[in-house]
A and B are shown apart, each in its own frame.
Chain A
Amino acid sequence: MLGYALRRLLGSLPTLLAIVTLAFFMMRLAPGGPFTLDRSLPPAIEKNLLAAYRLDQPLWRQYLDYLAGLLRGDLGPSFKYQDFTVAELIATGFPASLKVGGLALLVAVFVGVGLGTLAALRRNGRLDHAVMALAMVGIAVPNFVMAPILALLFGVHLAWLPVGGWGDGGLRNLVLPVTALALPQIAYIARLTRGAMIEELHRDHVRTARAKGLGERIVVVRHTLRGGLLPVVSYLGPATAGLVTGSVVIETIFAIPGIGRYFVQGALNRDYTLVMGVVIFYAVLIILLNLLVDLLYCVLDPKVKHD
């Protein structure tokens, strides 16, 4: 299995290079640069700035320089937040992002699996229809619509929770962003679980278990859930990617000082190095989590062998 993991990691290097290359050149296609301000600079000053950040070099040379920096583990300085390096900014932003994203993932898995299982057991019942209808809404409504609705309802009208901000990252500040981020994933996971559970419940070994006279709870938990969870586990990879991209929106709407917000600010400020740093960080994160999911899969399903 270790050999498999190593092979996968090596295989992801070209993917990473492609992402870095694409992001680098796409970023440069946007009009304006890091030093285009709402008040323009005299030409002499602009020349000094471009030279100081080596932006006066040909693009291919800047690209090679950036790659060389990456190999040394250097993400470069931020153009905008000049007292910080990109690595420092990511390090200060990640804990907040991890807290929101991690909690959202946990909530999504537990609530999603729970609802999906219930729906499967009450197939075609009222509960099943309600859950599936909700799931359709959850999938259809994007989180940049859901988040302001939640903020408006619970923050402004009911005034139960803060509209935004982070404070010290306490529960009050977490509820709305985590909910907004988890909702679409809950919906997806509930649908997946329901489908898989329904299929599992009709398998021979479940019929045998029932025939032995086992209680329904044991039948479900011990004999069905494991198989029913497999598609959910394989969905965790895409789910993480969804949470990561969702966090870009959610962190901006709720003013959370995470890396998602840096990504948006970085793009608007043309802070090339900051955007590149966050893209690389996200890419590595997603690649690693996908690998983890595949390894987990082979633990859950003995039929899958990676060697």
Chain B
Amino acid sequence: MAWSRLGRGLGGIALAAGLLLGAGGPATAERVLRIANMGEPQSLDPHKVAGTWENRIVGDMFVGLATEAADGSTIPGAAEFWTVSDDGLTYTFGLREHRWADGTPVTAEDFVYALRRILDPKRAAKYAFILYPIAGAKAFNKGEQSDPAKLAVRAIDLRTLEIRLENPTPFFIDQLTHYTAFPVPRHLVEAKGEDWVKPGTIVGNGPYTVVEWVPNGRITAVKNPLFWDAANVAIDKVVYYPDEERAAVLKRFRAGEIDLATDFPSDQIDWLKANLAGETRISPYLGVYYYPVNNARPPFSDRRVREALSMAIDREAITDKVLKTGEVPAYSFVPPGTGNYGQPAEVAWKALPMKERLEKAKALLAEAGFGPAKPLKVTLKYNTSENHKKVAIAVAAMWKQLGVETELLNSEVKVHYNQLEENDFDVARAGWIADYDDPENFLSLLATTTGKQNYGRYSNPEFDRLLDQAARTADLAKRADVLRRAEAIALADAATIPIYHYVSKNLVSRKVRGWVPNTKDIHRTRWLSLAD
């Protein structure tokens, strides 16, 4: 049966390839990469997007001052070089001589225009906060200061751009690879208004141009011959399918209709390992799956209760027996391998065998006044998903060994996160994927000033002070030390319960060359090629 399906799938591809060739005119083989992108984009405007699936498309169209190499490391992009002043506050960028896909030269003014545009409060860009390290950016975005000239970004000449920062920010260059810092073609945006993003009109300074968007169907981008490195771009056309149904995508991948799937159904992992081992690519990812605990609600405001709950969770059992897709058990909040950091701080009891941990946890609960006569009752909330449910059930069983009575409560994702933001939970499921490769991006979630994003409302003045100190420290090694001390405090306080660190899960066809696993899970099409 599988064979007959495969046969028909291949027939379909042959037919589709034939049609493409027919439409393409000359019969030179057009190299088409077909990506299952796991989401319909909200927009093609880099100032409006917020998701990884959107980044894949927008990042093929635009290149920031710095960009990602095939292995995810940061390399020069639209800027050929840059210099940093001794105090670490002033960056001067020398732009590469290059053009928008319509032939207009890219200038430093385009970058000034783009940064002012995304930070304009009227644009309400969701990710504008990534740019807050730029001097004046926060005040401008908050509307406290409405003169764009006060934003410390200026064009010195056509190809020289200067950006001044509020504090020395060691991850600033890394942030410039993010889509929030992409340039936009000023001439086009001013001429066409909001319609500049329509396929057929939109142009970028990157390797591809989107020419077609069928809502809920597909997005097609073709190679931009004016891209500065076009000679080294091997793929002629990229088709991004928005399909989110993982099981259906796996079927299409097996039928050869998809070359690259950016996720796969976790429950198929045994089958995948047995049958598609070479194409199943799992690698560490900068993200943490954790349970915020409500630090503001008794009895969870008691450190001993939080620590007992955290200690009783057998993380290896969850990653190895429940999830089985290579996730890394988490004993730190910041994922190992995060840049500018080194080894993260870890909980003190990591090395203790499970049996001793349970004894200690029971003792902690007893100290806090809970025992067989008065069991601790916990409501564990999670957003509806098969995997979240499995983890929650396993955790409830582990807590039961402490005599804790757990009630599981699932709700649809919007309702769930609304409850988290409103601090309406005992213990709940949450996750955080890094916006940029720096521990600050994780640890700032636990700062008192973070407000609603600090779901558990953890608050420790010493932690806050260390985070402030790190922000003012230019020396990377010293800064990492300060941040590690902060993380150690949060872990000792059991501010949250880290459970595992994410992995990225891709299906990569054998035909695809140049795909390098990396912790950012960013694989720009310009680095890929297709074998015959």
A residues adjacent to B (C-beta < 8 A): 30-33, 35-45, 47-49, 51-53, 80-84, 89, 92-93, 159, 163-166, 255, 257, 261, 268-270
Contact = CB atoms under 8 A, between A and B. Distances in A.
B406 to A, nearest CB: 23
A31 B451 contact: no
B420 interface: yes
Q: 9 tightest A-B contacts by CB?
A: A32-B414, A52-B124, A257-B216, A32-B418, A48-B124, A82-B43, A49-B124, A48-B121, A44-B142
Contacts of A164: 245, 248
B129 A42 contact: yes
Interface centre among B123, B142, B214 (most CB of A within 10 A): B142
Nearest to A82: B43
Contacts of B451: 42-43
Q: Which of B138, B141, B215, B217 has the most chain A CB within a 10 Å cutoff?
A: B215
Contact of A36 (B42, B251, B421): B421
A45 B126 contact: yes
A236 B131 CA distance: 58
Secondary structure call for the A interface: loop
Interface in B421-442: 421, 431-433
B44 interface: yes
Given A32-B418, A163-B248, A257-B217, 8 more contacts: A37-B417, A40-B417, A40-B420, A40-B455, A42-B129, A42-B453, A44-B138, A44-B141
A82 B45 contact: yes
27 contacts: A31-B414, A33-B414, A36-B421, A37-B417, A38-B383, A38-B413, A39-B433, A40-B420, A40-B452, A40-B453, A41-B129, A42-B451, A45-B141, A47-B142, A48-B124, A48-B125, A51-B121, A51-B122, A81-B215, A82-B45, A83-B43, A83-B45, A93-B215, A255-B248, A257-B216, A257-B217, A270-B414
Contacts of A32: 414-415, 417-418
B243 interface: yes
Contacts of B129: 41-42, 44-45
Contact of A268 (B198, B412, B433): B412
B452 A43 contact: yes
A45 B450 CA distance: 13
Contacts of B125: 45, 48
A123 to B, nearest CB: 44
A31 B50 CA distance: 22
B246 to A, nearest CB: 12
Interface in B34-57: 40, 42-45, 48, 50
Contacts of B198: 83
Contacts of B48: 82
B128 interface: yes
Contacts of A268: 412-414
B44 A83 contact: yes
Contacts of B421: 36, 40
B50 A163 contact: no
A49 B48 CA distance: 11
A215 B288 CA distance: 79
Contacts of B163: none
Nearest to A48: B124
A165 B141 CA distance: 42
B221 to A, nearest CB: 15
Contact of B215 (A41, A44, A47, A89): A89
B23 interface: no
A261 B216 contact: yes
A93 B215 CA distance: 8
B4 interface: yes
Given A32-B417, A52-B122, A166-B217, A81 B40 contact: yes
A130 to B, nearest CB: 31
Nearest to A261: B216
A81 B40 CA distance: 8
B460 interface: no
A230 B197 CA distance: 53
B126 A49 contact: yes
Contacts of B213: 83
B31 interface: no
A30 B433 CA distance: 27
A159 B5 contact: yes
B507 to A, nearest CB: 18
Contact of A159 (B1, B431, B455): B1
B419 interface: yes
A166 B243 CA distance: 11
B432 A45 contact: no
A92 B218 CA distance: 13
A139 to B, nearest CB: 29
B126 A35 contact: yes
Given A37-B50, A40-B417, A163-B251, A255 B126 contact: no
B415 A31 contact: yes
Interface string B430-472: 0111000000000000000011110100000000000000000
Nearest to A96: B216
Given A45-B129, A52-B123, A89-B215, A83 B197 contact: yes
Contacts of B42: 80-83
A258 to B, nearest CB: 9
Contacts of A48: 121-125, 128, 141, 143
Nearest to A35: B126
B207 to A, nearest CB: 21
Contacts of B45: 82-83
Interface in B243-260: 243, 245, 248, 251
Contacts of A255: 243, 245, 248
Contacts of A163: 248, 251
A48 B48 CA distance: 13
Of listed A41, A84, A93, A163, residue having the most chain B CB within 10 A: A41
Contacts of A49: 124, 126
Nearest to A77: B194
Contacts of A31: 414-415, 418-419
A275 to B, nearest CB: 13
A52 B213 CA distance: 25
B201 to A, nearest CB: 11
